[in-house]
Amino acid sequence: MNAGGRSESGLPIEPVYGPDALEGWDAGEKLGEPGKYPFTRGVYPSMYTGRPWTMRQY
C-alpha cells in the first residue's frame, strides 16, 4: 500500500482511486436489482416514483 491508511475496520484505503481500481468489479453482481437484497439501489423496485417524498415541518 502506498501513502494510504486503514479504515476503522482495518481495510486498506488508498489516497486516490482511479479507473483501474475498478478492474474486475461487476456492478450488476455487487449492487443487485432495485428492491432486492442488499438494497443498495433502494427498497422499492420503482424507487419512489409511486410514493414521492413529502416535506414536513413540525
At 21-48, the pLDDT tens digits run 989 988 878 888 888 888 888 888 887 7
- Give a yes or no: residue 5 inside a domain: no
pTM of the model: 0.38
Does residue 1 surpass a pLDDT of 60?
no
Q: Residues 6-31: what's their mean pLDDT?
A: 88
Q: Which of 3, 6, 28, 25 is nearest to 16 (CA)?
A: 3
Q: Which contiguous run of DSSP H or E holds residue 13?
A: strand 12-13
Residue 36 lies in a domain: yes
pLDDT at position 7: 92
- Counting the structural domains of the chain, the total is 1
Report whether 44 contacts 33 (CB < 8 A).
Answer: no
| 3 — pLDDT class (breaks 50, 70, 90) | low
> What domain range is 34 assigned to?
24-58
